[in-house]
Amino acid sequence: MTAIRAYAAQSPSSGVAPFSLVRRQPRADDVVIEIDYCGICHTDIHFVHNDWGMTQYPVVPGHEIVGRVSAVGSGVRRFAVGDRVGVGCLVDSCRACASCNDGLEQYCERGWVATYNGIDREDGSPTYGGYSERIVVSERFVLRMPDALDPAAAAPLLCAGITTYSPLRHFGVANGHRVAVVGMGGLGHMGVKFARALGADVTLFTRSSDKREEALRCGAHDVVVSSDPAQMQAAAARFDFILDTVPVAHDLNPYVNALKRDGTLILVGMLAPTDPPLHTLPLVFARRRIAGSLIGGLPETQQMLDFCAEHGIVCDIERLDIRNINEAYVRMQRGDVRYRFVIDMATLRGV
């Protein structure tokens, strides 16, 4: 065990700063990964600031990790030194419950182990994320990164990508469906790309019209400005599926009304406890549904990466020197990023 470089937050107001970290020696089923890129998810900021009251400091954020295998444990079969690999939001789960057996580790009935701010099931140590040189992860929770994908732009696929891909596939989005995406951020722009690639007629709901060109470039056929009552009225009963990526409490009712009969509103962004007032009559009168969906399981995440390679899909990113990360957090909090910051981990070597 040798100390490696990382960035960590030490308190809710400290920001993230250089930190010295020890990674475990590989167990039999472990893959050791030298990290090349790590995307920044809004969740990272919430954990750094302890917004959800569950942060254990120091916390090393980062769960959109791409790197190369530098060593493998004796029992590892699927990976070899030199492979390009990825790690997402999960690094372990119980591996025995019905959800784990279904490859839906994100719904593990005993609780999955998060890539950071989690507790290792074997030795009880805290898990540390991707703002670091290296990570050691059990083989089952490591993804193959297709060569066709730019590794930096592929990093956010491991959270923003799978979070939008999984529900679109699970709920059956297919050729000819009318699909809307609410919000044009890290998740939203991926939702637009995936829905388009699945053959849907795609609309973006956005609060202001200045996202229009970007949305069309990402594959949307249409844009509805949700702050315009006339446009919302015209969108009534129009969509088979609406993927709502907005990460803060908001009124769901206008989107329920925009669903056709048997349409489904899928919530993926709502990661803070909220109580939006919900009108239930519009559900009853058109047999509409509201559903939630959480990231994705390991098999589906691999499927998503392969789908991206096949369809030439990656995230739109801005590369970041890790020394500018606190500035990047500030920009993210005012929505000033198109659409994901990705830390170039080579910049950590100079710190």
Q: Shortest approach of a copy of itself to residue 282 CB, angstroms?
A: 8
Using rule CB under 8 A, residue 287 touches a copy of itself: yes
Q: Footprint of a copy of itself on residues 118-177 (CB under 8 A)? A: 167, 170
Task: Determine contact, residues 122/135, Cβ cutoff 8 Å.
Answer: no
Q: Shortest approach of a copy of itself to residue 36 CB, angstroms?
A: 30
Using rule CB under 8 A, residue 53 touches a copy of itself: no
Task: Determine contact, residues 152/66, Cβ cutoff 8 Å.
Answer: yes
Task: Please compute, for residue 165, the number of CA atoms within 13 A of its CA located in the half-sphere on the CB side.
Answer: 26
Which residues, 6 or more positions from 333, have their beta carbon under 8 angstroms from its beta carbon? 45
Using rule CB under 8 A, residue 285 touches a copy of itself: yes
Using rule CB under 8 A, residue 277 touches a copy of itself: yes
In order, the DSSP letters of 244-256 are E---S----HHHH
Q: Which of 101, 208, 233, 274 binds a copy of itself (CB under 8 A)?
A: 274
Q: Shortest approach of a copy of itself to residue 273 CB, angstroms?
A: 6
Nearer Cβ to a copy of itself (1/281) = 281
Using rule CB under 8 A, residue 288 touches a copy of itself: yes
Nearer Cβ to a copy of itself (57/107) = 107
Count of residues touching a copy of itself (by CB under 8 A):
36
Nearer Cβ to a copy of itself (44/240) = 240
Using rule CB under 8 A, residue 251 touches a copy of itself: no
Computed over its alpha carbons, how large is the radius of gyration of the chain? 20
Using rule CB under 8 A, residue 237 touches a copy of itself: yes
The Cα angle at residue 133 between residues 339 and 9, in degrees rounded to 5: 70
Which residues, 6 or more positions from 124, have their beta carbon under 8 angstroms from its beta carbon? none
Task: Determine contact, residues 62/131, Cβ cutoff 8 Å.
Answer: yes
Using rule CB under 8 A, residue 94 touches a copy of itself: no
Nearer Cβ to a copy of itself (267/328) = 267
Nearer Cβ to a copy of itself (176/285) = 285
Q: What is the largest distance, in Å, between two alpha-carbon atoms of the chain?
A: 63
DSSP 8-state code for residue 348: G
Nearest one of 176, 187, 310 to 247, comparing CA atoms: 187
